[in-house]
């Protein structure tokens, strides 16, 4: 999400190493702009053979490390304290869009990553962002 278009923050695609050939996450929107005060939704679609995957959202500001925001699994999930309130994600069978509600502001400008962790068979996929 960029409050002003900025081509230095374009990576929003997550690539996975092997766990299952059907595991995949896509973020099709590369740059998204908004006005202060808007509500913003950032899309993330996924595919997995596992019936109960866990999906994660991360925020990376400037040249810092990605920071875990929240995760969703089945009908529940967890949010880090600083992201509770305005940042929400709803998990369905193919997507886990992130919504920044009420009063998006310049300080929300960042790269947002979506990631998948299948939770079947005891194997964890590794991923890189």
DSSP string, 19-61: S-TT-EEE---S--B--TT--EEE--EEE-S-SS-EEEEEEE-
Q: How many CB atoms lie within 10 A of CB 121?
A: 10
State the Cα–Cα distance between residues 13 and 19, nearest whole angstrom: 18
Q: Supply the pLDDT for residue 96.
A: 95
Q: Supply the pLDDT for residue 20.
A: 58
Domain architecture of the chain: domains with CATH: 24-116 (2.60.40.10)
DSSP letter at 93 equals: S
Q: Supply the pLDDT for residue 114.
A: 94
DSSP string, 105-119: -GGG-SEEEEEEE--
10-residue mean pLDDT series, the chain (129 residues): 39 44 84 91 92 92 93 90 93 94 89 82 39
Q: pTM above the 0.85 mark?
A: no
């Amino acid at each position: 999400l960029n409050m002003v278009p900025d081509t230095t923050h374009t990576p929003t695609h997550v690539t996975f190493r092997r766990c299952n050939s059907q595991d995949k996450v896509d973020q099709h929107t590369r740059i998204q702009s908004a006005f202060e005060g808007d509500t913003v939704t950032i899309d993330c679609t996924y595919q997995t053979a596992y019936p109960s995957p866990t999906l994660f959202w991360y925020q990376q500001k400037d040249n810092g490390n990605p920071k875990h925001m929240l995760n969703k699994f089945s009908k529940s999930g967890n949010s880090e304290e600083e992201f509770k309130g305005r940042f929400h994600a709803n998990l369905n069978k193919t997507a886990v869009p992130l919504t920044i509600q009420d009063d998006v502001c310049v300080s929300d400008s960042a790269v947002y990553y979506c990631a998948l962790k299948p939770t079947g068979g005891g194997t964890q996929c590794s991923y890189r962002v």
